[in-house]
Amino acid sequence: SPYREIPVDVVGQDAHQELSLLASRKSMTLLKNDNNTLPFPKGLKVAIIGPSVNRSDDLIGKNAGPICPDGTLSCYQGLVQAVRDLNEGGEVRFYEDVNISGPAIDLAMWADLVILAPADDAGREGHDRYTISLNETQSQLCLEVINAVATKKPVVVVLINGGTVSI
């Protein structure tokens, strides 16, 4: 058989982790940076809005993917924690419920900077994608938040997905 079992002690070695980090960094794409919003200054009030902004497991994709050496997902930092770590002297609040836009807009109005992280929930294992667009709930939430605050403060959209997304 051309397949062989890989010993468990081979998975997750430092060299593999470094290569994975390098590949992740090289695959990030900054599509637009109006008014040099990024990198944002420290010490801001930051609102992060999206269904999985505080879930590090969403960063590894829809499949089981790699796991941390301790067998959990604890080595993957979620978006909220990453922004908190970078935003020294500032405050970070997040909102995960995408079905009610009112609280999300209130949070966005409170902030100096808004980060929208809409979910790409269509491309799960065993589920076909019929469109490359965000689902209607995600699109509507993004539009409502952007329309409420875009002329008053910067808005950053972060897409974490493994396939094409039309926005």
pLDDT for residue 64 is more than 80: no
How far is residue 96's CA from residue 116's CA, in Å, rounded to a whole number? 10
Q: Check whether 8 has a pLDDT greater than 80.
A: no
Nearest CA-CA partner of 95 in 153, 61, 52: 52
Least Cα distance to 66 among 27, 11, 19, 107 occurs for: 11
* 92-126 confidence digits (pLDDT tens): 999 988 777 789 999 999 999 999 998 765 545 56
- % helix, strand, coil for the chain, step of 5: 35, 10, 55
Between CA 17 and CA 108 the distance in angstroms is: 35
Residues 6+ apart with CB under 8 A from 28: none
- Token pair, residue 9, equals 């002690």
When mean pLDDT is compared over 2-16, 47-61, 108-122, the highest value belongs to: 108-122
Distances (CA, A) of 98 to 31, 114, 159: 24, 15, 15
Tell me, what's the pLDDT at 12?
66
